[in-house]
Amino acid sequence: GQQVMQIPQYQHVQEGEDFTTYCNSSTTLSNIQWYKQRPGGHPVFLIQLVKSGEVKKQKRLTFQFGEAKKNSSLHITATQTTDVGTYFCAAVFTGNQFYFGTGTSLTVIP
């Protein structure tokens, strides 16, 4: 099956530091989605990227889709304790095959 690699698996940052998680595929993607799951919670849809090189922002969150549509990143500027959780990418391949990455667990130290 298709593989979606997400790194890092865990990240601890001091409050106010930046954070980035990466999602990589060996195959070109149709589009990619990002989700956030708070501890004890459920995944919540954040955004979808469709176009090559696309960049979207949501307040302190910046989402990028690579030019080759094989990778994506989520960057959080000046993390806050409310950013704690696991961030998942969900890669969509040709034929509507849809796979979640393993997630990056973010801990923010006050």
Residues in the site for another protein, rule: CB under 8 A? Answer: 4, 30-31, 33, 35, 41-48, 88, 90, 92, 96, 98-103
Q: What is the DSSP letter of 48?
A: E
Return the half-sphere exposure (C-beta side, CA atoms, 13 A cut-off) of residue 68: 7
Gap between the Cα atoms of 41 and 48, Å rounded: 21
Gap between the Cα atoms of 82 and 63, Å rounded: 18
Quote the least distance from Cβ 31 to another protein, whole Å.
Answer: 7
Nearer to another protein, 66 or 101 (CB): 101
Nearer to another protein, 17 or 99 (CB): 99
Gap between the Cα atoms of 68 and 85, Å rounded: 28
Quote the least distance from Cβ 34 to another protein, whole Å.
Answer: 9
Nearer to another protein, 4 or 74 (CB): 4
